[in-house]
A and B are shown apart, each in its own frame.
Chain A
Amino acid sequence: MTPQDDRLQTVEPREVGMLLSVGPPEDRLRHWLAAEGADRGEEAETALASLFAMLPIPQPSAAFADRVLINLGLETRPAAYPWWSRAMIAVCLLLAGLTTAYAFPLIFSLAQFVAPGEVAGMVVQTFVGLASQTDELLAIWRVFARVVNTALLVATSPQVVVALLSLTVFSVFTLRGLNQLLSPSRSSEYVQAL
């Protein structure tokens, strides 16, 4: 639907006279300024109207009317994604949730092959070997060793560490997907509370 109401956009100085519609812009300007300077009020108004007809009229954004209706609650926000993609994402999330619930035993069994303590030990040995070459590295190592010892106290078993890491990664991706799914494609601009 195109904007209506040509009447408002057509300048019709109803109380003045005929609108000047011809003549290059400079002539219209000169005519107006001359009439204004000579205090010929009606003529000046007519001439000025023809100048104002040259001014650009801003076009509202394409969704202006939509936003008004959305702000009034007369229209629901259109979905960010088509229905079929939303259905697919919902199914995937459901499968992911179910899989996670039944995958915990699998995760714990896999964790037996990964011993964070052994990995940490290898890192320590490497660093000690390097640190023994310089005093500065040794100082840094002391701080690092304190931090790692504290962390290792918390993660007492490999199963717990792996499970925590897995859940963290999963939740990040899930929440991100849910956020994109639920976010509208347009947001309303400022509207002062009535």
Chain B
Amino acid sequence: MHRTALGQPRSGTPSPTDDELVLATLAGSAEAFRLLVERFQRPVLSVIVRMVSDRSLAEDLAQEVFVKAYYKLGLFDRQRKLSSWLFKIAHNTTVDYLRRSQLDTVPLEASTAEGNESWEVLPNRDEDGPEGRAEHAQLVRALSAALGRLPPHYREILLLRFQQGLAYHEIADVMGLAMGTVKVQLHRARKRLAAELDEAGFAPPGRWQENSSRQRNKTER
């Protein structure tokens, strides 16, 4: 199978922009769409997999996202960021699935065992040593578990903000919320995550514990 030269940069040449790939795909280039998929497959999957807590299901849904994106690419407003548009499709697809399946929040511990071996753990600093690495791994597990105990919409908003780096207005666009609502939801999600970690025993002593019960009460109201 031959691949065209599109998107195969020579050394020193920049890779094609999202806009260029979109235009090439609309012009009929399958290779351009392949590059788009390869460029965004990981971010899209990383959000979906933490929403549904099932690795193989997340891949299926991510496939569906890109298939839908291909058919709707002609409607894409190139003034927008392609990543936000893809996240929006991912959001709608995942929410539709969760509604259809009435999937309850599943702790991520239940699902990471089957997919964990293919997840890339970000490298720790060399100077941390074995204890540091163990500490790092423990915290990652605790953070993942706490994230998994949150409702799906809290998880999503935290991932979009803190893992994917979306701005408030982009999150608002993806999730179909007003910007003020995004800020409120984000605030509540952070508090809830902190409360989950507190309950898991990761809170520092002193001031946090005094404040956490106040915050938890506020969040739950």
CB atoms of A58 and B55 under 8 A apart: yes
User: C-beta contact mask, A8-31 vs B, less than 8 Å → 1, else 0?
Assistant: 111111110000000011100110
Instruction: Please count the residue pairs between chain A and chain B whose beta carbons lie under 8 angstroms apart in the complex.
Output: 192
Among A24, A53, A67, A194, chain B packs the most CB atoms within 10 A around the CB of A24
B residues less than 8 Å from A1 (CB atoms): 7-8, 34-35, 38
Q: B33 contacts the other chain (Cβ, under 8 Å)?
A: yes
B residues less than 8 Å from A162 (CB atoms): none
With A26-B139, A51-B143 given, is the CB distance from A72 to B162 under 8 Å?
no
Q: B203 contacts the other chain (Cβ, under 8 Å)?
A: yes
CB atoms of B203 and A191 under 8 A apart: no
Docked Cα-Cα span, A189 to B7, in Å, equals: 27
User: Among the listed stretches A36-44, A130-138, A170-178, A179-187, which one makes contact with chain B, having 4 or more residues with CB under 8 Å of it?
Assistant: A36-44
A residues less than 8 Å from B212 (CB atoms): 37
Q: A121 contacts the other chain (Cβ, under 8 Å)?
A: no
With A8-B165, A56-B121 given, is the CB distance from A3 to B38 under 8 Å?
yes
Closest Cβ of chain A to B150, distance in Å, is 13
Query: Which residue of B is nearest A51, CB measured?
Result: B143
Among A29, A33, A38, A48, chain B packs the most CB atoms within 10 A around the CB of A33
CB atoms of A38 and B211 under 8 A apart: yes
User: C-beta contact mask, B40-70 vs A, less than 8 Å → 1, else 0?
Assistant: 1111011001000001101110111011101
CB atoms of B162 and A13 under 8 A apart: yes
CB atoms of A5 and B63 under 8 A apart: no
Which residues from 110 to 137 on chain B have a C-beta closer than 8 Å to any C-beta of chain A?
115, 118-122, 128, 132, 135-136
Docked Cα-Cα span, A37 to B215, in Å, equals: 8
Query: What range describes how many residues of A lie at the interface?
Result: 35 or more
Q: A113 contacts the other chain (Cβ, under 8 Å)?
A: no
CB atoms of B45 and A58 under 8 A apart: yes
CB atoms of A59 and B165 under 8 A apart: no
With A36-B190, A44-B190, A189-B63 given, is the CB distance from A12 to B165 under 8 Å?
yes
Which residues from 24 to 81 on chain A have a C-beta closer than 8 Å to any C-beta of chain B?
24-26, 29-30, 32-34, 36-38, 41, 44-45, 48-49, 51-61, 64-65, 67-69, 71-72, 74-76, 78
Query: Which residue of B is nearest A28, CB measured?
Result: B139
Main secondary structure of the interface of B (DSSP, over half): helix
Q: B185 contacts the other chain (Cβ, under 8 Å)?
A: no
A residues less than 8 Å from B106 (CB atoms): none
With A9-B43, A69-B33 given, is the CB distance from A189 to B38 under 8 Å?
no
Docked Cα-Cα span, A51 to B140, in Å, equals: 8
Closest Cβ of chain A to B19, distance in Å, is 14
Docked Cα-Cα span, A189 to B66, in Å, equals: 13
CB atoms of A4 and B39 under 8 A apart: yes
18 sample A-B contacts, Cβ–Cβ < 8 Å, listed by A number: A1-B7, A4-B35, A12-B165, A24-B136, A36-B194, A41-B187, A54-B122, A54-B140, A55-B143, A55-B144, A56-B121, A58-B55, A58-B58, A60-B41, A64-B59, A76-B1, A189-B60, A194-B68
The 10 closest A-B pairs by CB, nearest first: A37-B211, A52-B162, A74-B30, A56-B119, A37-B208, A25-B139, A65-B37, A190-B60, A8-B43, A4-B39
- 19 new A-B contacts, CB < 8 A, other than A33-B198, A58-B118, are A9-B43, A25-B135, A29-B202, A37-B194, A37-B207, A45-B162, A56-B122, A58-B119, A59-B42, A59-B119, A60-B62, A61-B59, A64-B45, A67-B63, A68-B37, A69-B33, A74-B33, A190-B63, A191-B67
A interface residue numbers (CB < 8 A to B): 1-5, 7-15, 24-26, 29-30, 32-34, 36-38, 41, 44-45, 48-49, 51-61, 64-65, 67-69, 71-72, 74-76, 78, 188-192, 194
